[in-house]
Amino acid sequence: MAEKKNTRIVQHTEECPSQQQHPENDEQFAGLQVNSGVEQLPSVNPYLKRKRKPQLTPAEYVEGIRKGNRAVLGQAVTLVESRNAEHQIIAQEVIEKCLPYTGNSRRIGITGVPGAGKSTSIDSFGMHVIKQGHKLAVLAIDPSSERSKGSILGDKTRMERLAVEPDVFIRPSPSAGSLGGVARKTRETIVLCEAAGYDTIFVETVGVGQSEIAVHSMVDYFLLIQLAGTGDELQGIKRGIMEMADGIVINKCDGDNIERANLAAAQFRNALHLYPLPPSGFLPEVITYSGYYDLNIEGVWDMIDRYFAHVKASGYFDEKRHEQERYWMRETINEQLLARFYFDPEIERLLTIKEDTVLAGKQTSFVAASDVLNFYYNKITNEHSKQ
């Protein structure tokens, strides 16, 4: 019969009760002795009072932004992104005061699937732009960032050369809220950046979903980065992103890949002829380049210059911006109406009750919906008549 192990815990003095809980202090582990721990000091000095950053007045924000102070611009963008109602009031005032100084820029959306080389290319394109004497802001819209609580798009570490340039402002995607909300914040950030003198704005997004539509609605030019030989060209065609693109660039046209990149460019040119001419009246061009090796970056930029020359001369540039203003006004109304409706506690309660009624088959969804809406309309009318 196997001998039962002696698991008696060595008794220690009453001053060290914690030692008794360590099985290593059992007699069988002769020579092993676990001492009780020492209380850890706090890593932060408890006597240090946390200083709250003094908040600037809206006029001070605007002054700092107008002087091109990147720190103040960054703080103002943080206010724009904040959900705090007080911050929002200040942010809206700052935006309104900045509005007269905006509009004088080129807003360029850049999209492509992960791995297409967006950040590498933005680094190269951006260096090209600032060498021409421009100031560049790199913003981003990342639909996945709400889940991951942080966006890799517009991340400084991915744009090594731009990150250290004084004429560049880089800001990752706002991470909170619906895509519409995130897009609106980026749209408002564009206003602040333009007031700070950034005359070229890049808005980066991943070419995998709805976010392109949001970016398309806030830029003058939409650039699609594609790769050769990965089947992406077909995906692009399928998803209708091609229809939104004002220009297509095939990246990684270097080394062994040159031939394939040129072939892909020819395929894209053919495919583009199958689409109707876009409202800009400018047939999208297709250019090959290498973001990594800085090859033909001027070629890409000349293509973009040609587009801007065309749409400025035709009046389409202003027309599109007016259309976007209208779109954003309506989007903001939609967003605020929805928020007001769904965040009303009475509506929240009624919705739960009505959902149960519908699921129990006692009412149709349409009747239940109009009951909820009628309740809301009556409530608003009563509130107004009391005022």
Strand order of the β-sheet with 221-226 is 168-170, 136-141, 200-206, 106-112, 221-226, 247-250, 285-288
Give the x/- contact pattern for ligand GDP in 290-329, rule: CB under 6 A.
Answer: xxxx------------------------------------
Q: Which of 116, 192, 201, 286 binds ligand GDP (CB under 6 A)?
A: 116
Closer to ligand GDP at the Cβ: 40 or 157?
157
Residues 6+ apart with CB under 8 A from 359: none
Of 277-285, 287-295, 348-356, 366-374, the window that binds ligand GDP (rule: CB under 6 A) is 287-295
- Taking the complex as a whole, how short is the minimal distance between the CB of residue 105 and ligand GDP, in angstroms? 23
The least distance separating ligand GDP from the CB of residue 186, rounded to whole angstroms, comes to 17
Question: Considering only residues 64, 112, 143, 197, which one is a binding residue for ligand GDP as defined by CB under 6 A?
Answer: 112
DSSP state of 22: -
User: Is residue 117 involved in binding ligand GDP (CB under 6 A)?
Assistant: yes
174 lies in the site for ligand GDP, by CB under 6 A: no
Residues 225-284 that bind ligand GDP (CB under 6 A): 251-252, 254
CA dihedral 185, 189, 191, 194 (to 10 degrees): -160
Q: Name the residue nearer to ligand GDP (CB basis): 292 or 341.
A: 292
Q: Is residue 119 part of the contact set for ligand GDP (CB under 6 A)? A: yes
Three-state helix/strand/coil letters over 232-271: HHHHHHHHCHHHHCCEEEECCCCHHHHHHHHHHHHHHHHH
Alpha-carbon distance of 105 to 170, in angstroms, equals 16
Cα(91)–Cα(82) distance, rounded to whole angstroms? 9
End-to-end CA distance of the chain: 90
Q: Which range touches ligand GDP (CB under 6 A), out of 28-36, 85-93, 208-216, 285-293? A: 285-293
State the residues that interact with ligand GDP by CB under 6 A.
Answer: 112, 114-120, 251-252, 254, 290-293
